[in-house]
Amino acid sequence: MDKVCAVFGGSRGIGRAVAQLMAQKGYRLAIVARNLEVAKAAAGELGGNHLAFSCDVAKEEDVQHTFEEMEKHLGPVNFLVNAAGINRDSLLVRAKAEDMISQLHTNLLGPMLTCKAAMKMMIQQGGSIVNVGSIIGFKGNVGQSVYSATKGGLIGFSRSLAKEVARKKIRVNVVAPGFIHTDMTKHLKEEQFTKNILLGRFGEALDVAHAVVFLLESPYITGHVLVVDGGLQLTI
Ligand code: NAP
């Protein structure tokens, strides 16, 4: 049977780098994002028999339907990566409720919905899930109280789920990146942050992808939070 890996947020940034590594390792990939054209381009670049799907991770019906389509076209999903995420940075006093809700829905409700949908397939034959969190989820940051809450919540969710499903041979882990070069950070001035990063640079998406793939494939690790931040958390 094929090893099938669904990467939500696989069209760009960290998710895309994960998909590239997994494709090299012989997995069949489902690249999932809202923008189908960008997802198709990312799937096409992988070569081989990979497929793109359009889905808003915050909508339950959309997620359900996407898992049904993935199973129909690729077979049961036994590996899941939740890398879809957004930030709407703002001091809390200026934050709009609609931006709070969109972060909560995309970053926290989204992984809950995809994990729930994946359970139905994984419960038969086991599986492995990696949720992409952030060091901001436990360190906090000015202007990111809501984003931090979504990522802190994701850790609690993942560790609880790891306890719930371990007996079904399903593992659930988290990778918590620091600053990584992607569309999400392109507006930041790197030199303003590197003094706090022991390794002196922002990470690359591939730096995080190696950690995601390691956890996806590590048979005796579950409920773990792996920090990939160049040493940032030691200084802030
Ligand atoms: P990115 O380059 O902006 O990519 C985000 C991906 O998520 C895209 O594929 C995007 O595609 C997808 N996405 C966003 N909203 C979605 C939705 N509602 N439904 C489905 N897909 C959605 O971001 P990134 O930097 O790779 O971030 C990946 C994850 O790492 C996020 O969870 C982020 O919070 C986390 N993270 C990033 C950093 C960093 O420094 N970059 C640091 C710590 C944690 P569409 O827009 O087409 O939907």
What confidence tens digit (pLDDT) does each residue in 77-96 have? 999 999 999 999 999 999 99
The pLDDT mean for the chain works out to 97
Report whether residue 106 contacts ligand 1, using a CB cutoff of 6 Å: yes
Q: Distance between CA atoms of 5 and 124, rounded to whole angstroms?
A: 16
Range of the domain at 122: 4-234
173 φ, ψ to 5°?
A: -135, 170
pLDDT for residue 23: 97
**191-204: per-residue pLDDT in tens?**
999 999 999 999 99
Q: Of 8, 147, 179, 202, which residue is the catalytic one? A: 147
- Which atom of ligand 1 is found nearest the CA of 105? 18
Task: Quote the tokens at residue 199.
Answer: 């390794």
Radius of gyration, CA atoms only, the chain:
17
Q: Distance between CA atoms of 5 and 74, rounded to whole angstroms?
A: 9
Please, which pLDDT band fits residue 76 given cuts at 50, 70 and 90? very high
Please, which pLDDT band fits residue 220 given cuts at 50, 70 and 90? very high
Q: In the predicted model, is pLDDT for residue 41 greater than 80?
A: yes
Question: If you average pLDDT over residues 64-71, what whole number do you get?
Answer: 98
Length of the chain in residues, anyone? 236
* pTM value surpassing 0.95: yes
Q: In the predicted model, is pLDDT for residue 3 greater than 80?
A: yes
* Helix, strand, coil abundance in the chain, percent, nearest 5: 50, 15, 30
CA 111 / ligand 1 centre spacing (Å) = 12
Report whether residue 134 contacts ligand 1, using a CB cutoff of 6 Å: yes
pLDDT for residue 1: 63
CATH of the domain at 66: 3.40.50.720
207 φ, ψ to 5°?
A: -60, -40
| Total number of domains in the chain | 1
Task: Quote the tokens at residue 62.
Answer: 């959309």
Q: In the predicted model, is pLDDT for residue 141 greater than 70?
A: yes
- Which atom of ligand 1 is found nearest the CA of 11? 9
pLDDT for residue 92: 98
